[in-house]
Amino acid sequence: MKTIKIRIFNLFLVFVILLFQSYLYSQENTIKDSTNKKNLILNSTVLGTTSLAYYGLYDLWYKKYPQTSFHFFNDLEEWNYMDKAGHIYSSYQVARKSHLFLEKRNIENSIEKSCFYSLFFMLGIEVLDGFSTEWGFSNYDLLSNFIGTGLFYGQEKKFNRQVLKLKFSSHPTEIAKYRPSLLGDNYLQRVFKDYNGQTYWITLDFNSKIQEKYKLFKYLNLSLGYSIDGFTGARYNPNLNCLECDNLSRQSQYIISFDLDLSEIKTENKFLKLFLNTFSVIKFPAPAILIQNKSQFKWLYF
């Protein structure tokens, strides 16, 4: 009975969050040329996208684990801060994509509203964590969300563009097979759960004067990445009775590479524009230098 009550409360909380988010976006044009049709389309898009995102996260992360009463959890040092990098990246991208969505529709204060939406959306995820026995509400996750959103906000206000862009890449690893229940038992799950294959990138946009002189640098960015290797557990590697996996060396690794900025490619084709904009959140595969215990060069790293 307690579990049922917790689930009902969680659903109610998510519903309230979605309702509040919908309300925020309904306010942008109450004075200027706002129409019921425009508001309806805007609210429906936001509500539908948010609902699908929450459902997908619940299906991927939460439904297999029991729920409990709301609680806090200190997860700062888990996975060598990869989870925190993920929160910074996610909040940054939610703010960035929300801003593009609102700006295209000439919504006033689109920067502030997109950042508020990002923080509120990520807060909803954290609340779901707070009711899961496997996790908990993390103040460090909350701080990471502010960092990611702040990175977008500060650049948009200062430069009116994103000089530093956050991106993501993932490749399959052999490590996931040693603990599929945690690291994913299929390719899609491993993209999100296997931190050993994930890399979070900061891509540096070259100076605009250099870009004007050398057109190639308009599309080519310098990328600095962070990842980990050898992890089968969050804080330590458990004994899995496997010689190969028990001898894994837990280490962080830093990557230097280049990136192709797809968002700079201009086209009038709506489908191609959507494709380029969608995949601009992902780091383009390229040669890379991996700095770790045994540094190495890879002709193609993703």
**Token reading at 3:** 């579990």
| Predicted pLDDT of residue 214 | 59
Helical pair 82-104 and 139-159, crossing angle rounded to 10 deg: 40
Work out the angle between the directed axes of helices 82-104 and 110-130 (0-180°, nearest 10).
140
Return per-residue pLDDT of the chain as tens, 302 residues.
444 434 444 444 444 444 455 545 454 444 444 445 566 666 666 666 777 777 777 776 677 777 788 889 999 889 999 999 999 999 999 999 889 888 887 888 889 989 998 998 898 888 888 888 878 899 999 999 999 999 999 999 999 989 899 999 999 999 999 999 889 888 888 998 899 999 999 998 765 555 555 565 677 889 999 999 999 999 999 988 888 888 899 999 999 999 988 777 777 777 777 777 778 899 999 999 999 888 899 999 98
- DSSP, collapsed to helix, strand or coil, labels residue 169 as strand
What is the CB neighbour count within 10 angstroms for residue 9?
14
Quote the pLDDT of residue 7: 46
CB-based burial, 68-102: b 16+ in 10 Å, e otherwise? eeeeebebeebbbbbbbbbbbbbbbbbbbbbbebb
CA distance 302 to 300: 7
Smallest Cα–Cα separation from 51: which of 96, 89, 14?
Answer: 14
Residue 223 and residue 169: Cα distance in Å, rounded?
A: 12
pLDDT at res. 207: 57
DSSP 252: E
188: phi then psi, degrees, rounded to nearest 5: -65, -45
